[in-house]
Every structure is written in structure tokens, then in C-alpha cells.
Amino acid sequence: MTFTINQLHAREILDSRGNPTIEVECRLADGLTARAAVPSGASTGQREAAELRDGDPARFGGKGVKNAIKQVHETIAPVLIGQDARHQAAIDAMMIELDGTENKSKLGANAILGVSLAVARAAAMASGLPLFQYLGGPGATRLPVPHMNIMNGGVHAHWQGADFQEFMIAPYGANTLREAVEWGSEIYHALQSLLQKKGLSVGVGDEGGFAPHVSSNKAPIELILEAISTAGLRPGADVGIAIDPASSEFFKDGQYHLRAENRTLDPAQMVEYYTRLITDYPIALLEDGMAENDWSGWKQLNQAIGGQIELVGDDIFCTNPAIIAKGIEEDIANAVLIKLNQIGTLTETIAATRLARDHGWGAFVSHRSGETIDSFIADMTVALDTGHLKTGAPARGERVEKYNQLMRIEEALGAAASYAGKNAYVRPIRF
């Protein structure tokens, strides 16, 4: 079987929000072809690698990706054709050098990532290995705890409800990944019935979670806890809560503006708010509790509750190894969110994950709000043994496909499979 790259072809497709994104096919010399699609975020960090968009207001509101496609065909392909698809690090390094900018703004992180993932998938297929095993080797046998975003707020709900962007369930008490998915589905449907009984909207946000109008940021947690009990499960013992406030979205002039509660808090008060929240509710993980530019606030938060729960940095780190290294040195969190398109290549994503794990930090793999049916992150999560991931509610095809792929992987592994459960986190579950 040959591993020589013979052709790279890119096309424009739609993501889950109806916006254009790029899909890349990598064809090897013997005709084997692999495909990868690139997601896009709604709540994005300032330090993220840059997408290349056309900016033509007459087409897709300026969001077209014909320029990114052109970069794949005219700039990247001539350099990579003839290369061995197994040489992932070298291929990614070539694209980074071709781009020559700090944030991949010349070629576009979307163009570079599409090629990076398509090449990896082609190499796996040519090797005759499933993607998770190709990337992770024979030790890739642990299935992650799925964190399902079943209530949406903030920008994901167009600010119609809570300020906090994501309220997730974490079925860490299950015995298998399949059972965890089953529990998640049952809780999701129990929550839908509960909302209907209370006369609340069951319309959903970008990631499939319900987005009712609520009067506080605690209300969604209480509704979810009731749904967990209704589904016959024990809050805290069987299923915990994870929250992503995406606080950069409501941080302005050094203050946190909680619109849903008509309150404005300074960083110290915000830390106190979270401290009370994790005391009152079974919260195992808090992501982006402080804004991306509030480094002192992050340090306060970690000093206050970092010994009790997993504190995940997303916007502040943007899956960037250099920024993560600074965060580790300054001790501002204990985990990092891992998003492929924040940094733009598979090699750099793996480096970011390893850096976190080598320093005792957690690595929490994530989808984006503008997703595709590509399930690459499901395989990658198992390959890198991160123990947990979030990829939306157990609804909507682009979200469910990741859970379905994880169930396929678990089935393929058979008796060798294990489930991360409560060991998924860098801090022991307290409930």
C-alpha cells in the first residue's frame, strides 16, 4: 500500500449553523481517498488561529471560503504532493512554514487544518487501522466521559436565557460509554418533558441544548438536577454537572455583567459566586470561569477552588502550547480545552495535549458550535486518552455522530475497552 500523497482537493460545504466551511480530500497514489471537514466557533478566543474567509458581502454574508480553497489547491498542494502521508509532523511543519504568520492568517487555519486531518485519515486508512488506533497505538483503549450540553445560554442561545453558555451533564457513574450515552439521552428527554410541564420553551440552541428563558444562572442547574432524578439517576453520584460560562462574552471594563440576574461583579466577587455555586451543586468541571484577559482573576479562581474541581481554560489558552506553558508556569488553572481549529494542525493539537498531561493538567477535547458530521475528535479523544470530551447534546446529527463513533470504537475494542468514569478528572469527584 502506498502512502504517497497524489492529490489534495478542497470544496465548500455547510456547517451545522448553515455557514460555509471547508472540506478537504486527500488522495494517495493508489487511489485511496480520505476526507476531513473543518468546524467553526461562535464564541471564539482572541488568540485563536485565523480562519480565512472571503469577505464578499454578496455571498454567504462574507463568510465564503473560496480563498481558503484556493490556498489548498494553489499553495499547499504543490508542496505536499509526493510527500509520505505518514509523516504528519513534517507535513504540518511545511504548511506552517508556507503560511509564515503567527496565527495562520495567510493560508487560513481552516485550509491548513482541513489538509492536516485529511492526510492523517488517509494514512490511517492506508495502514489498515482505525483512526483512533493509528493515532494512539495499541494503548488507545479508554473511552471518555461524554459531557452533553443539554441547556444553552449566552451566545449559543442568542442571549435569550442564562448568561452562562453551556450547562452540561457528565454521566461519569456509568459502567460503559454506551451506558453513559443511554443515560444522557434519557436525561435529555426527561428535561424536555419537564420544561414543557413548566411552560418553558423547548427550542434548542446551536449545540442542541434547550434554551428557555430563565431568571438566573442557577435555574438551569436546578432544572437539570430534577431531570436527572426524573430519569432514575442520582445527581452527583451517577451524573455530575459541568459548566462553561464563556465569561469573556459578559466581561467588560473589568467587570462581569450578569444580565440574567441584573448584577455586575468584580473578579473577586465572581470568584465568590463560583465558590458558592460548587458548594451548592454537584459541579465537577468549570470551563472559562473567568475572561480570557483576566489573568489575575484566573489566578484567584484557581487559588480558591482549583483544589476541588477541574478548572478548564479555553479562550485564555486557545490550544496554543506557548500560552498553555505560560498558564502552567503562573498556575492559573488545572486543565485546558483542546480544539483542533483553535491552533490549526493535528501536530500542534497533540503537542498541546501532551504538554498539559505532562504537567498534571487535564485535557478536555471539544467540538465547536458550527460543526460538521466529521467524527475526527471522537477518535482523537480515545487516541490521546484525555478521558473526557464535550460535543453537544444527544441530539442533532453533527453532535450525535461523535457519540455514535465512540460507541463503535467501544464495540471494536471489545473486552479491551474501559470507561474513564470518575477518573476522567484531575480533581477527585467530591460527591
* Burial class of residue 185 (count of CB atoms within 10 Å of its CB; 0-12, 13-18, 19+): middle
9 is in an annotated binding site: no
369 is in an annotated binding site: yes
Backbone angles phi, psi at 30, to 5 degrees: -90, 5
165 is in an annotated binding site: yes
**Active-site residue, selected from the candidate residues 218, 299, 339, 402:** 339
294 is in an annotated binding site: no
156 is in an annotated binding site: yes
390 is in an annotated binding site: yes
367 is in an annotated binding site: yes
366 is in an annotated binding site: yes
314 is in an annotated binding site: yes
339 is catalytic: yes
- Grid cell digits, residue 220: 438551569
48 is in an annotated binding site: no
104 is in an annotated binding site: no
247 is in an annotated binding site: no
**Active-site residue, selected from the candidate residues 25, 207, 371, 410:** 207
| Binding site as annotated, residues for substrate | 156, 166, 287, 314, 366-369, 390
Q: Which residues fall in the annotated binding site for Mg(2+)?
A: 244, 287, 314
Point out the residues that are catalytic. 207, 339
